[in-house]
Chain A
Amino acid sequence: MSGWRAASGGRIERSRPIEFHFNGRRYVGYQGDTLASALIANGVDLLARSFKYHRPRGLVAYGADEPNALVEVGEGARREPNVKATQVRLVPGLVARSQNCWPTVGFDLMAVNDLIAPLIPSGFYYKTFKWPVAAWPFYERLIRRAAGMGRAPAEPDPDAYETVHRHADCLVIGGGVAGLAAAEAALDHAESLVVVDALDTFGGLGTAEEARIDGQPYGAWVEAVLARLRASGKVTLLPRCTAYGHYDGDQVGLIEEVAGAVRLRRWMIDADRIVLATGAFERPLLFGANDRPGVMLAGAAQAYLNRHAAVPGRRCVLYANHDGAYEAAFDLQRAGVAIAAIVDARATVAEALAARCRTAGIRHLAGHMIAQSRGRRRVTGCVVHPVGRPDATVALTCDLILTSGGWNPAAHLFTHSGGRLRHDARIGALVPDAPSGPGGPPPRMVAAGACAGLFELADCVASGRAAGAGETVGAAPMPSPSGEPPVAPVGTASKQFVDLQNDVTVADLGLAVREGYRSVEHVKRYTTLGMGTDQGKLIGLNGVEIIAAAQGKSAAAIGNSRPRPPFSPVTFGAMAGPFVGDLLSPARTTPMHRWHAAHGAFFANVGSWRRPQFYRRPGESDMDAVVREASNVRRQVGLTDVSTLGKIDLQGPDVARLLDHVYVNGWSTLQPGRCRYGVMLREDGAVMEDGTTTRLSDDRWFMTTTTGNAERILAHLERARQVDLAGLDVTITPVTEQWGAMAIAGPRARLLLGALEPDFAIDNAALPFMSMAEGRLAGIAARVLRVSFSGELAYEIYTASGDAPAMWAALVAAGDAFGLMPYGTEAMMTMRIEKGLFVPGFEADGRTLPDDLGLGRMVSTKKEFVGRRSLGRSAFTAPDRKQLVGLMTVDPTRSIPRGAQIIRYGSASLPAPVPMDGHVTSVAFSPELDRWIALGLVAGGRAALGETRIAASPLTNEMVPVMLCDPVFIDPEGRRLRA
């Protein structure tokens, strides 16, 4: 319990205390606290256990780089695991707890892993658990249970998320000094700006309060710039907003925390210019047991103090290798923290700085390093020695060790875009390099300030302004480091953690290199270095330098691992946005949908549509309903909604030429007023689509497509018109939504049609099969096609969508006298199977040719069309191709299993693989034949009609003898549909 709250200072509102709970205990923080700062102020320093060894861990960092303090926040459906305490704003009633420990974070039995650590170095699992093979599932269950971190959420997330798409002339990522300077400079060059910062306020973390910019105090300068940005009317300022990824076309994804009707708002910004002013992450220095609670980044401690008056200790040792870090010690000392010593790894330190230490009465150990921390659950001291002289140890007493090994630019978005980083030895960091060739960053992204490796305030301002004005696009950053190049000595102690979250130590990296894993990527994957939820932000160059040293190479020579998006984890809800539930893919409904719903329809998804499968009456089974509906069509008349058919209006003098190109059959001879059935192929010869096209007049045609193919056929037609046959005078208009459509089918269909008092002739001579009439029907303008998908006398009636319910109602009212019943897709399928009509996706499954479906004679030999030349391939004309046949059970009382494979008699007893002759494509119980029938594709099937095979369904333990027959089960002469 070392942390405390300073009596004054910080940006918290002391008049607004906030109660919260952590691990079941009640604490109080203030408005303006984060969970992390409030826990520090309340003296809570053991927050978590590490992933592998379950070692006690506390806070290390201030922001997205925090590796340790992962907690579970919230309760019930709003419980969220793996939240970094540094990123949780304190709100009243906040409930948080430690995770991945049992029974408690203070006493965690899984810490036994720490004791057996020598047995489980990096990659141990590749070397064991292999024997016996059968035991791996057992080991794996243990591993899975031990791994993971927080508990998975168990209930649907009740919160809402949204996505906003925006264009910006200039997007400034990071609202610190460099970002604000860039935004202000960009005002003269851009009409729209978006400026984002992850914190609640703009101004950044890296600037001392007493600094001056343009002669103004820092705080006043920030306020003045913000005022100018706001006054310009051009700028969208987004605090609490993190840029997580850069994507092709200079699109940047942002996540904004919104406390309102939506939980998170995702912004997708298409930006003309991007200024990366994302600052830098502090690099820790390594020593033995550097993971104890009480070891922290210097800049983090400074930020907790200066922003929240939360002080993480009473007696502090600072371990650093650059001048800037000293300010943390001076700040803490001013707040009342005793500074036990400043340990500087550099042999020489500028005299002015040394003098400040002397003046402040701080013990200053230049040329020293920390070997080891001391303590158990909390730092109680450390052992220090001169660099290179591990024997000359000095013991220091402290409850807080701050480290700073320099700063590494947060250039993640730069690398997302393909940009390369350059190792800058002067600052011991990787900085954005100039773009270079393919795979390089887009020239419209430029880094400024600390993200460009510029750490002096004046450089930040200047580079920001230049970036905002568009002056330094793609240029290398200006040099600015002062003092000696940093050194980051690594001692020999055990348990020097390079990756705190994944428990990867210096020794683990050495082991990986010894074992031949030399590439940074190999070491990373072998040891899991940097693969945690902090995505290795804290590791900086520590990993690369250790891996390089183990191979006797320079850090620059071995390169670096490329960060992948996202910069920090993105809530899935924010990615899905509103596209959940019914909005996942909004269902399309027909004009008659309400009628169907009110009349017992059971709906099914067909493509993007909801269609009635059948209308079940009280006491009926699903099957009963289907049989009744189909029988009624065959005996009397049925009515079905076919509005989902794709409908395409074709106009112009060249339509027939277009149709000749896309259909296998010819179209120029089709007379106005007549319909024709057509089949379309892909260029590879497979059947893609079938449907009816009607010639309304000389230069106006009307095509219908299968429900699921409407968009595809439209694209196909447009491609033929615009690309392959460019120059045709045809206008193609999709009119699916404009027309409602319904079919009446059955021997009494003409009587029913007549009862609607058409103002056009409907007798067989005037309106024969495959013809069309237009006029008024039941007083409503209608287009009537005499086409049939059931094999019965049938008409498709098209009206304007708005008139369709009235037409439907008129048919229902008039239909009473003729025994009309509505029927759904199941009865429709039953009847088309009885009629041997194929459906794309079932019989035509993308491997089927026209001849396989018995349509060989339909294929024109006189014209070129899509797919024609593929049909002559040798395998396409082989006699053993799978051909469409009908299937009937030998025993008429048996059913045919769906999805059955067709095998020969006797082969069922063969050892696998059993040769398969074909398969069942569609199954139905035929009311007309009073038995189960099916369509199937069977090798050489047309020559084998009358033979028997086995419909084999091992999945359902069924082996059913079936006879191959003609696929047209009823009315093969087509008398009914021509009646």
Chain B
Amino acid sequence: MRIPCPCCGLRAMAEFTYGGADVTRPAAALPLDPSAAPDADWNDYVYRRDNPAGPHRELWFHAAGCRRWFAVTRDTRTNAFLSEAVA
């Protein structure tokens, strides 16, 4: 499988590090409460995933290349890349 790096083009999968689903990190509520238990949004961000069988927006790091982190959409049923965009 080759992964479309926005900087380097199609490169072998072995050059990349996977970064998981492209989930948005929830903004911290202000003021900070250091002892508060995490809210549901945070636990969802850390642990819960859509995990679709189909188009999946995900992050890759071109570790053995340009060191770009980027998001792409890949069909998890076929491993076809459907789009590419710089994160």
The interface of chain A, by Cβ under 8 A from chain B, is 165, 247-249, 251, 270, 418, 438-440, 442, 683-684, 711, 714-715, 718-719, 722-724, 726, 732, 859, 861-864, 868-874, 877
Contact B61 A715 (CB under 8 A): yes
A and B contact pairs by CB, cutoff 8 A, 27 listed: A165-B12, A247-B1, A248-B80, A249-B1, A249-B10, A251-B2, A270-B2, A438-B75, A438-B78, A442-B80, A683-B45, A711-B63, A714-B63, A714-B67, A715-B61, A718-B67, A722-B69, A732-B67, A859-B34, A861-B34, A864-B28, A868-B32, A868-B34, A869-B42, A872-B36, A872-B37, A872-B38
| Bound: A442/B2 CA distance, A | 14
A646 shortest CB reach to chain B, Å: 14
B46 CB–A CB distance under 8 Å = yes
Question: Bound state CA distance, A862 and B78, in angstroms?
Answer: 46
Report the Cα distance A578→B12, complex, angstroms: 18
| CB atoms of A722 and B68 under 8 A apart | yes
Using Cβ atoms and an 8 Å threshold, which residues of chain A touch B54?
Answer: 438
- Chain A's closest residue to B74 (CB) is A248
A683 partner residues in chain B, CB cutoff 8 A: 25, 45-46
Q: Find out whether the CB atom of A248 lies under 8 angstroms from the CB atom of B38.
A: no
Quick one: which of A439, A442, A869, A870 has the most chain B CB within 10 A?
A869
Q: Are B37 and A723 in contact (CB under 8 A)?
A: no
Asked if B21 is an interface residue, CB under 8 A from chain A, the answer is no
- Whether B69 and A872, one on each chain, are in contact in the complex, defined by CB atoms closer than 8 angstroms, is no
Question: Bound state CA distance, A723 and B87, in angstroms?
Answer: 6
Interface string of B12-39 (1 = CB under 8 A from A): 1000010100000100100010111111
Q: Is the CB of B17 within 8 A of A715?
A: yes
Interface 0/1 of B32-75, CB less than 8 Å to A: 10111111001001110000001000010101000111000001
B1 proximity list for chain A (CB < 8 A):
247-249, 251
B79 near A249 (CB under 8 angstroms)? yes
Among A439, A440, A719, find the residue whose CB has the most chain B CB atoms closer than 10 A.
A719
- Shortest CB-to-CB span from B43 to chain A, Å, is 8
B19 and chain A: residue at smallest CB distance: A719
Q: Least Cβ distance of A647 to chain B in Å?
A: 15
Q: How far apart sit A249 and B67, CA to CA, in the bound complex (Å)? A: 22
Q: A859-B34, A868-B28 are in contact. List 8 more A-B contacts (CB 8 A).
A: A270-B10, A683-B45, A684-B47, A722-B69, A723-B87, A724-B25, A864-B28, A871-B34
CB-CB under 8 A from B12, the residues of chain A are: 165
- Residues A861 and B32 in contact, CB atoms below 8 Å apart: yes
Expressed in whole angstroms, the Cα–Cα distance for A864 and B34 within the complex equals: 10
CB distance from B8 to the nearest CB of A (A): 14
**Bound state CA distance, A781 and B37, in angstroms?**
50
Check if A870 sits within 8 Å of B2, measured CB to CB: no
- B79 contacts which chain A residues (CB < 8 A)? 248-249
- How many Å from the CB of B28 to the closest CB on chain A? 4
The answer to whether A870 touches B46, judged by C-beta atoms less than 8 angstroms apart, is yes
Determine the chain A residues whose CB is within 8 A of the CB of B78 once the complex forms. 248, 418, 438-440
- Does more than half of chain B's interface fall in helix, strand or loop, or is it mixed? loop
| A165 to B13 CA separation, bound complex (whole angstroms) | 13
Tell me the minimal C-beta distance from B25 to chain A in angstroms. 5
Is B42 a contact of A718 with CB atoms below 8 Å? Answer: no
**Shortest distance from the beta carbon of A322 to any chain B beta carbon, whole Å:** 37
Would you call A684 and B77 a contact (CB within 8 A)? Answer: no
How many residues belonging to B are interface residues under a CB distance threshold of 8 Å? 32
Report B's interface with A, CB cutoff 8 A: 1-2, 10, 12, 17, 19, 25, 28, 32, 34-39, 42, 45-47, 54, 59, 61, 63, 67-69, 75, 77-80, 87
Shortest distance from the beta carbon of B65 to any chain A beta carbon, whole Å: 12
Which residue of B10, B32, B47, B59 contacts A864 across the interface (Cβ within 8 Å)? Answer: B32
B-chain residues with CB within 8 Å of residue A722 when the two chains form the complex? 68-69, 87
Closest chain B residue, CB of each to CB of A716:
B61
CB distance from A270 to the nearest CB of B (A): 6
Contact status B42-A870, CB under 8 Å: yes
B37 touches A873 (CB 8 A): yes
Task: Return chain A residues, CB-CB under 8 Å to B47.
Answer: 684
Considering only CB atoms, which chain A residue lies closest to B69 in the complex?
A: A722
Q: Indicate if the CB atoms of A874 and B37 lie closer than 8 Å.
A: yes
Report Cα–Cα, A732/B63, bound state, in Å: 13
CB-based contact A863/B38 at 8 Å: no
> Which A residues touch B77, using CB under 8 A?
438-439
Kindly state the separation between the CA atoms of A433 and B78 in the bound complex, as whole angstroms.
17
The complex places the Cα of A451 from the Cα of B58 at a distance, in Å, of 38
Q: How far is the CB of A814 from chain B (nearest CB, A)?
A: 40
Chain A residues closer than 8 Å to B69, beta-carbon distance: 718-719, 722-723
Docked CA distance A39–B25 (Å): 70
Shortest beta-carbon distance from B53 to chain A in Å:
8
Chain B hits for A165, CB < 8 A: 12
B46 touches A684 (CB 8 A): yes
- Chain A residues whose CB sits within 8 angstroms of the CB of B2 once the complex forms: 249, 251, 270
Closest 9 CB pairs of A and B: A248-B79, A861-B34, A864-B28, A722-B69, A438-B77, A248-B1, A249-B1, A869-B38, A872-B37
Residues in A with CB closer than 8 Å to B34 are: 859, 861, 868, 871-872
Known: A684-B46, A715-B17, A722-B87. A873 touches B38 (CB 8 A): yes
With A683-B46, A711-B63 already in contact, the answer to whether A726 and B87 are too (CB < 8 A) is yes
What chain B residues lie within 8 Å of A864 (beta carbons)? 28, 32
Whole-angstrom CA separation of A664 from B35 in the bound complex? 15
Query: Is A870 in contact with B59, judged by CB distance below 8 angstroms?
Result: no
B62 shortest CB reach to chain A, Å: 10
Across the interface, do A863 and B32 meet the contact criterion of CB distance under 8 Å? Answer: yes
Residues of A within 8 A of B45 (CB): 683
The residue in chain B whose Cβ has the minimal distance to the Cβ of A417 is B78
Report if A862-B32 is in contact (Cβ < 8 Å); known contacts: A438-B78, A723-B59: yes
Which chain B residues border A418 with CB–CB below 8 Å? 78
Residues of B within 8 A of A249 (CB): 1-2, 10, 79
CB-CB under 8 A from A248, the residues of chain B are 1, 78-80
What are the residues of chain A within 8 A of B61 when measuring CB–CB?
Answer: 715, 718-719
Q: Which residue of B lies closest to A871 (CB)?
A: B34
User: How many angstroms from the CA of A726 to the CA of B59 in the assembled complex?
Assistant: 14
User: Are A869 and B28 interface neighbours, CB within 8 A?
Assistant: yes
CA distance A718 to B59 in the complex (A): 12
* Residue of B with least CB distance to A167: B10
- Chain B, Cβ-Cβ closest to A441: B78
CA distance A704 to B73 in the complex (A): 35
B73 to chain A, nearest CB (A): 14
A861 to B59, CA, bound (A): 30
Q: Please give me the residue from chain B that is nearest to A712 by CB atom.
A: B17
Q: In chain A, what residue has the closest Cβ to B87? A: A723
Cβ-defined contact, A870 with B38, below 8 A: yes
**A726 closest partner in B (C-beta):** B87
What is the bound-complex CA distance between A871 and B35, given in angstroms?
8
Assembled-state Cα–Cα distance A714/B87 (Å): 17
Min Cβ gap B84→A in Å is 14
Residue from A249, A718, A870, A871 having most chain B Cβ neighbours under 10 A? A249
- Complex CA gap A722/B25 in Å reads 13
Q: What CA separation (Å) do A861 and B28 show in the bound complex?
A: 13
How near does chain B come to A857, taking the closest CB pair, in angstroms? Answer: 12
Taking CB atoms, residues of chain B closer than 8 Å to A871 are: 34
Shortest CB distance B85–A (Å)? 12
Count chain B CB atoms within 10 A of each CB in A684, A722, A871 and give the residue with the most: A722
Query: Given the complex of chains A and B, what is the CA–CA distance between A249 and B79 in angstroms?
Result: 8
Kindly provide the distance from the CB of B39 to the nearest chain A CB, expressed in whole angstroms.
Answer: 8
- Give the distance in Å from the alpha carbon of A506 to the alpha carbon of B87 in the complex: 59
The residue on B at minimum CB distance from A442 is B80
Report Cα–Cα, A869/B47, bound state, in Å. Answer: 13
A862–B34 alpha-carbon span in the complex (Å)? 8
Contacts of B67 in A (CB 8 A): 714, 718, 732
Give the docked Cα–Cα distance between A683 and B19 (Å). 13
Residues of B within 8 A of A438 (CB): 54, 75, 77-78
Which of A270, A862, A870, A872 is close to B35, meaning CB atoms less than 8 Å apart? A872
Closest residue of chain A to B64 (Cβ to Cβ) is A711
- Report A-chain residues with C-beta under 8 Å of the C-beta of B10: 249, 270
Cα A870 to Cα B46 with chains together (Å) = 9
Q: Looking at B12, B42, B59, B69, which has the most chain A CB atoms within 10 Å of its CB?
A: B69
